[in-house]
Amino acid sequence: MSIIFKYLIWILLLISAKLAGQDSWTLDACVAYALENNLQLKDYSFNTNSNEETYRQSIRKLLPTVTGSGNYVINFGRSTDPFTNDVVTTDFFSNRYTLEGSVDLFRGFQKMNNIKATKLLYKATQEENLQQRYLLAFRVMQAFYDIRFFKGLVAISKEQMTVSQSNYDLVAKQIELGLKAGADLYEAESLLLTDKLNLTQSKNQLAAAKLQLIQEMNLEGTSEIEVQDGLNHTMEPENSPNVQSDSIYAKAKEFMPMLKAQELRVKAAKKQLAIERGSLHPSLSLFSGISTGYFETTRDSLGVTVPFRDQFRDNTSQFIGVSLSVPISNGWAARSRIKQQKIEKLRAENNLKVQEQLVYQTIQQLVQEYQSLEVEREQSAQKVQAQELAFTIAQKRYEKGLINALELFTAKNLFASAQNENLQVRLRSEINQSTLEFYRGLPVFDIE
């Protein structure tokens, strides 16, 4: 019994350890979970599957068309015998069965161009699906770093509240010893309450950031998530790779899904224009078939209706032929569709230029931000050191009664503001570097 009990305890500890390990999420884990569970992303996958089926069906349209038909007819009153063509007045019934097949020999290369167009559109939706996966990964990354920022803000607020609590306790003790007046305690209490409010606001912002990440990931059954701390990028400016907008853009054009998708849509628009032009050409098709029937009026020399099996065999006929269709006039509809498709081709080409311009402008902004953040990061670190020293001196002077609570509060706020700015700059720098690495074609996310 004791062995079973120990075994159960061991299993519970193992499960607890596994759950504890899952409580702290890395960025890669968050992105992977979001890619697997985001519902909007699944909708793009359905669109890709639909276009794949459209492409496959365009290939199947090259196969012959085969149709079968049958009928059962009852004639009343004066009618024509369908077998002898004699006029009869008796009621009778008949069956007819036909199997016919046809295949297009030439249709202005419309079917071949349609296959190429649907294939290009299918590949375009694949690239667009990949682009949506990247966009989701970036949204997750932004939410992930928002949590890091507000966690840092909570830590800074706690430090400030701890200092205010210590000052409040010091003033209370000095009042007890008769070294300060009771009014000084109100000032210390006001500063302490202000820091408590700041801490509460930071915690609320952290909770909102966590909710945003949970929603992006579609993480169900929880309202709490913990992410791993620490910055991944520690690259110093002098060790950073050469950051040039043109060189980064040249690499981005080689793999950016949104650009590749639009390029494919331009090619598809050209094929669709060729399809419309193909409607101006004559079309040629080959058809053949076989038919038979049963007629109640078909009788032998004794006047007995010939059995169904014999009629089905004897009434069989075959046919084969070709059909030529020449478009002469259809109210200028074909010409109008060609003009409309030319406009669609021009629109697709313009959209490609718009997308290229958007990517280039985004890279320009990222490069400019990168250069600015490198300077800001160094200066903000120096500012933190200076404000920390100033606050330390102000704290000692306050303890000796050389400055009032307002002056200490100002020094403390300047130090907290410097810490906040430094944290924000470091996180912005990391996001900026990750984004630039993405445009360079580096594996920032494990999307595949």
For the segment 429-439, the average pLDDT, to the nearest whole number, is: 90
Residue type at 367 in one-letter notation: V
- In DSSP notation, 173-191 reads HHHHTTSS-THHHHHHHHH
Of the three residues 298, 326, 354, the one that is the final residue of a domain is 326
**247 CB contacts (<8 Å, ≥6 apart)?**
none
CA 348, CA 353: separation in Å to the nearest integer?
9
**160 CB contacts (<8 Å, ≥6 apart)?**
195, 198, 199, 412, 416
Q: Is residue 346 part of a domain?
A: yes
In the block, tokens 């990168």 appear at: 370
Query: Does residue 210 sit in the same domain as residue 334?
Result: yes
Tens digits of per-residue pLDDT, 54-79?
Answer: 999 999 999 999 999 999 888 887 88
CA 308, CA 292: separation in Å to the nearest integer?
11
CA 291, CA 309: separation in Å to the nearest integer?
14
Strands (E), 282-331: 283-295, 317-325
Query: Does residue 293 sit in the same domain as residue 332?
Result: no
Q: Is residue 371 part of a domain?
A: yes
Residue 92 · residue 297 · CB < 8 Å: yes
Query: Does residue 189 sit in the same domain as residue 297?
Result: no
Of the three residues 302, 326, 350, the one that is the final residue of a domain is 326
Of the three residues 264, 298, 326, the one that is the final residue of a domain is 326
Q: Is residue 48 part of a domain?
A: yes
CA 365, CA 259: separation in Å to the nearest integer?
18
Residue 127 · residue 264 · CB < 8 Å: yes
In the chain, the number of structural domains is 2
pLDDT at 221: 84
| Encoded tokens for 250 | 């040249």
CA 269, CA 203: separation in Å to the nearest integer?
53
**Which ranges in 177-256 belong to alpha helices (H)?**
183-217, 245-255
Signed CA dihedral, 400, 401, 403, 407: sign only: positive
CA 324, CA 311: separation in Å to the nearest integer?
34
Query: Does residue 79 sit in the same domain as residue 173?
Result: no
231 pairs with which residues across the strands?
Answer: none
Query: Does residue 245 sit in the same domain as residue 382?
Result: yes
Residue type at 67 in one-letter notation: T
pLDDT at 70: 92
CA 362, CA 364: separation in Å to the nearest integer?
5
Instruction: Name the pLDDT band for 2 (thresholds 50, 70, 90).
Output: low
Query: Does residue 293 sit in the same domain as residue 246?
Result: no
Range of the domain at 180: 25-63+107-281+327-439
Residue 385 · residue 422 · CB < 8 Å: no
Instruction: Assess whether pLDDT exceeds 50 at residue 91.
Output: yes
CATH number for the domain that contains residue 139:
1.20.1600.10
Q: How many CA atoms lie within 13 A of 346 on its CB side?
A: 6
- DSSP code at position 61: T
CA 75, CA 78: separation in Å to the nearest integer?
8
Q: What angle do helix axes 245-255 and 257-278 make, rounded to 10 degrees? A: 50
Query: Does residue 350 sit in the same domain as residue 246?
Result: yes
pTM to 2 decimals?
A: 0.79
Q: Is residue 12 part of a domain?
A: no
pLDDT at 181: 64
Q: Is residue 273 part of a domain?
A: yes
Q: Is residue 370 part of a domain?
A: yes
How is the chain split among helix, strand and coil, in percent rounded to 5? 65, 15, 20
Q: Is residue 18 part of a domain?
A: no
Residue type at 246 in one-letter notation: D
- DSSP code at position 234: -
Decide: helix, strand or coil at residue 291: strand
Query: Does residue 40 sit in the same domain as residue 189?
Result: yes
> What is the residue-averaged pLDDT of the chain?
85
pLDDT at 239: 44
CATH number for the domain that contains residue 286:
2.20.200.10
CA 4, CA 348: separation in Å to the nearest integer?
70
Residue 396 · residue 299 · CB < 8 Å: no
- Which helix or strand (DSSP H or E) is residue 220 part of? none
Least confident of 178-192, 206-220, 387-401: 178-192
| Encoded tokens for 214 | 């949970």
Nearest CA to 192 out of 212, 166, 221, 231 is that of: 166
Query: Does residue 121 sit in the same domain as residue 202?
Result: yes
Query: Does residue 346 sit in the same domain as residue 432?
Result: yes
Query: Does residue 272 sit in the same domain as residue 127?
Result: yes
| Encoded tokens for 244 | 């040039």
Least confident of 42-56, 211-225, 392-406: 392-406
Residue 30 · residue 213 · CB < 8 Å: yes
pLDDT at 169: 82
More confident residue, 204 or 331: 204
| Encoded tokens for 78 | 């004066």
Q: Is residue 19 part of a domain?
A: no
More confident residue, 78 or 50: 50
| Encoded tokens for 430 | 């990391």
Query: Does residue 180 sit in the same domain as residue 242?
Result: yes
